[in-house]
Structure 1
Amino acid sequence: MEFKIIQPTTCCDPSTGCCEPTLPVAVIGAGPIGLAAAAHLKERGIPFFLLEKGETAANIRTWEHVTLFSPWQYNMDEAGKRLLLQTDWQVPNGESIPTGKELVEDYLAPLTELLAPSIHTNHEVVAITRDGLDRMKSTNRSSQPFLLYVETPGGLKKMKAKAVVDATGTWGNPNPAISNGVWLRTEKELASLIDYHIPNVETNKELYANKRIAVVGGGHSAINSLLNLVTLKQKYPETSITWILRKKRVEDAFGGGENDELAARGELGLRMAECVRNGQIQVEAPFMITGIREQNGMVLTSTEKTLEPFDRLIVNTGNRPNFDFHRELRFESEAITEAVPALAPLIDPNEHSCGSVPAHGEKELRQLEPNFYIVGSKSYGRAPTFLMATGYEQVRSVVAYLAGDKEAAANVQLQLPETGVCHSGAGGCC
């Protein structure tokens, strides 16, 4: 792929309407999409810094035991690959399917090492604004640099940037078990007995073996959790597994099956269907959870039924974006999905699968605040139809625009595998 390299130009005094020429671009979040944004910035010679509140790829490390359903060819960004190929890095087989651990070790960790001078880990962004302005002030707004407040091991730090790319994702901000999306005090009080991720049941078998376990959710994260429990049940047959869904028909959760162009994703649904047929998993569908209480375990209630106490819950009901740290910026989220507004009709899970979302880039991601972008799974809000390849194309387009290469920014192209309406896998990115 060819692109223009636009070097930063010297511009006039900020008071006349020009930004400070030496300021870098701030990227927030060192997951796959944030690292891809950094790779594109580095390739184009644009100064940047990347801020990560924990360690790089921290979210993926929480589900490193999970096998993705997309092969390597969809999980690597092209700019990241080009930079790594200048080293002794070995390209993974594009047709093989990695685990989360392999994704980190074989791609994200080497890319992190290459970008390391510009990456700041254990740096949590707690607020972003325009220097000297709050959200309400308009005069000379676009000429003022962004000001980021960052909590670090050494205390609070202030950092300036000419543009901000928020790639923090939604993983770690789970939806509750309650079906109407409301966090109840009782659920919070029982948090020590609830997993909001795909747990490694083999490593932590004492929490699950021969226990009463309920899995809540109808997407691929829930299916992964259930299949891991079925494997555990083969060794510990007293393990009780209940699958709780809001769907009217459990079959609607099985996905595209043999018609799925991602074979591994289709296989998950086929395996799940077999486990339900042979009685390894008890299904409660539709079941709308209205309450949780402690009574010799966790009792789940709906308006019509009460389910027996469970020793542990696995809640895989998706995630939601956190907008708290950019409240002083002029940003918008769509009223239903909380996605970037222009994306909402393109990604509606009632109409689109992961593979039928049309290509989109900088134009669709623009906010009212110039040079502020929400990218990656966070740009989708609560919609579960995000794939990493989509995020890679987003940041390629955004960085091209920031470089002044408007032609490349507008030329968005994306080919994704098709299936029926799909749901997020581990973090919605596989």
Structure 2
Amino acid sequence: MGEGTLPVVVVGAGPVGLSAAAHLLDRGLEPLVFEVGEQAGAHVREWHHVRLFSRWAEVVDPVAEKLLALTGWTHPDPQTCPTGQEWAQRYLQPLAEVLGSRVQFGARVSGVARRGRDRVVDAGRETEPLTVHVQTAAGEQRILARAVVDASGTWGSPNPLGADGLPAVGERAAADRIAYQVPDLADPGVRARYADKRLAVAGSGHSALTALVALAELAEAAPGTHVQWLLRRGQVGDIFGGGEADQLPARGALGRRAAAAVAAGHVTTVTGFRTGAATRTGDGLVLESLDGRRLTPVDEVVALTGFRPDLSWLTELRLDLDPTLQAARALAPLIDPNVHSCGTVPPHGARELAQPEPGVFVVGMKSYGRAPTFLAMTGYEQVRSVAAALAGDHEAAERVELVLPDTGVCGGAGLFDDPTAASGAAEGGCCGPVEPAEQIAQTRA
């Protein structure tokens, strides 16, 4: 089989993976999508209860919409914001159905390599196809591919509660008391777990704000509920976002609601707290900071400290990753939260995402490594450029076709996760003279 007849393997049938398949088809290339879950958007469905702050107009890929239109699909109201469940059911599932047998579910990619060559061997590397090892209920398959697009995301690899990137002492032993996603309080069992309890929420991103708002509403109905909000940074600063200045109104509204929850007294803010230990006592779980501070006991912890990429199945590929963020080296300086605290990033595509291993691209949230913020439309632009590059249309691959909404916030350099930093712009921050850049934010609240 010649390389020209081999498929482009896409890993992950989430929003960006399915978008990649649509763009590849549009370019006359044959995609083959492997999804470990049993449905399209399996990870999205795990946060089904969370409403996106992006509108339908911003979470439907235009090329995917063209495919769907052939089936009579109707675009939801462009100005409303879907929940995760609505996004999966009304867009991702129909798109997967259009792609048909090109999407295989219950298929876990366990490794990718150059056929007959481990990462050390130079000879023949440019001419041999990639081989993708896939685990299914029927056994193991080895699929030859002309290229691999990794859109597997980071949802399955949450960061731990521990502030040094490793689980805090006692964190694993207390796993039954620690959740790593926004609680679904509409579920009676989940609601009972948190109602009238002493809670701690760790994190400063949009997921943490979403949890704070939900738990504050719970506290109004169940007055025995109280939340301690743990921040690693020294001050709250601009965590609540740009408010009315945010070009995504729902994102600005989320920040205002979180600020109101704190002001109402349902949430106690603890700044500069870098968790080092979690100890069970007769009165609950005691969290201790690396500086020796101990909080009053809590019953439950919600750790929303971000995600990280799983690179374990890419070890036989030659990747050039930034040692800090684990993102593509060319992309990392543009998204580093130690520098770009307001999330500025120039639009980017195949050039920035390319790896030393020919034909291998990491896209979507995983492309950002440990950088914390991302928009679906950023991923759609990435795969548009990658598909163009794989089809040999380098002019289109280089072209920028994306304008992202401004957050309305601009902070200084070095504020990310700094327990000593104050808010506001610092010398050399992203508010200074920079190349034209766009704002990014998490796909989900």
Counterpart Cα distance in 2 of 1:108 and 1:268: 25
In the alignment, is the contact (CA less than 8 A) between 1:352 and 1:385 conserved in 2? Answer: no
Q: CA deviation at 1:354?
A: 7.3
Equivalent residue in structure 2 for 1:32, among 2, 12, 15:
15
Equivalent residue in structure 2 for 1:377, among 365, 381, 393:
365
Say whether residues 1:299 and 2:286 are aligned partners: yes
Deviations 1:177-218 (A, max 9, x none): 111111246211221211111120231211111111111001
Aligned to 2:33: 50
SS at match of 2:17: helix
Aligned to 1:103: 87
Q: CA deviation at 1:427?
A: 6.4
In the alignment, is the contact (CA less than 8 A) between 1:244 and 1:285 conserved in 2? Answer: yes
Deviations 1:7-53 (A, max 9, x none): xxxxxxx9xxxx63321110001110000000111222211210011
Deviations 1:291-339 (A, max 9, x none): 1111132110012310122111100000001100010000121011111
Residue 351 to residue 428, structure 1, CA distance change in 2 (3 Å):
farther
Structure 1: unaligned runs, 5 residues or longer: 1-13
Aligned to 1:41: 24
SS at match of 1:250: coil
Counterpart Cα distance in 2 of 1:95 and 1:355: 24
Superposition misfits of 4+ residues, deviation over 4 angstroms: 421-430
In the alignment, is the contact (CA less than 8 A) between 1:354 and 1:385 conserved in 2? Answer: no
In the alignment, is the contact (CA less than 8 A) between 1:332 and 1:367 conserved in 2? Answer: yes
Say whether residues 1:400 and 2:383 are aligned partners: no
SS at match of 2:123: coil
In the alignment, is the contact (CA less than 8 A) between 1:247 and 1:285 conserved in 2? Answer: yes
Counterpart Cα distance in 1 of 2:140 and 2:101: 20
In the alignment, is the contact (CA less than 8 A) between 2:373 and 2:442 conserved in 1? Answer: no
Counterpart Cα distance in 1 of 2:385 and 2:135: 30
In the alignment, is the contact (CA less than 8 A) between 1:36 and 1:395 conserved in 2? Answer: yes
Counterpart Cα distance in 2 of 1:322 and 1:368: 19
Corresponding residue pairs, total: 413
Counterpart Cα distance in 2 of 1:254 and 1:242: 16
- Give the residue type in structure 2 aligned to 1:219: G
| Superposition map of 1:162-201 within 5 A | 162-184=146-168, 186-201=170-185
Aligned to 1:246: 232
Structure 2: unaligned runs, 5 residues or longer: 417-438
| Superposition map of 1:124-135 within 5 A | 124-135=108-119
- Give the residue type in structure 1 aligned to 2:176: S
Q: CA deviation at 1:149?
A: 1.1
SS at match of 1:342: coil
Counterpart Cα distance in 1 of 2:219 and 2:53: 23
Equivalent residue in structure 2 for 1:367, among 351, 355, 359:
355
Residue 372 to residue 143, structure 1, CA distance change in 2 (3 Å):
same
Counterpart Cα distance in 2 of 1:36 and 1:259: 30
| Superposition map of 1:12-411 within 5 A | 20-55=3-38, 56-184=40-168, 186-203=170-187, 204-296=190-282, 297-302=284-289, 303-352=291-340, 356-411=344-399
Residue 360 to residue 96, structure 1, CA distance change in 2 (3 Å):
same
Aligned to 1:6: none
Could you say which structure has the higher helix fraction? Answer: 1
> What TM-score, normalized to structure 2?
0.89
In the alignment, is the contact (CA less than 8 A) between 1:377 and 1:429 conserved in 2? Answer: no
> What TM-score, normalized to structure 1?
0.92
Counterpart Cα distance in 1 of 2:124 and 2:92: 39
- Give the residue type in structure 2 aligned to 1:188: R
Q: Which moved more, 1:250-259 or 1:332-341?
A: 250-259
Deviations 1:201-244 (A, max 9, x none): 23121111111111100111001111111121222111121111
Residue 317 to residue 356, structure 1, CA distance change in 2 (3 Å):
same
In the alignment, is the contact (CA less than 8 A) between 1:362 and 1:394 conserved in 2? Answer: yes
Deviations 1:117-146 (A, max 9, x none): 101111001111111110000101021111
- Give the residue type in structure 1 aligned to 2:296: E
- Give the residue type in structure 2 aligned to 1:57: G
In the alignment, is the contact (CA less than 8 A) between 2:374 and 2:442 conserved in 1? Answer: no
Counterpart Cα distance in 2 of 1:61 and 1:427: 16
SS at match of 2:183: coil
Counterpart Cα distance in 2 of 1:263 and 1:304: 40
Counterpart Cα distance in 2 of 1:384 and 1:331: 21
In the alignment, is the contact (CA less than 8 A) between 2:375 and 2:441 conserved in 1? Answer: no
SS at match of 2:199: strand
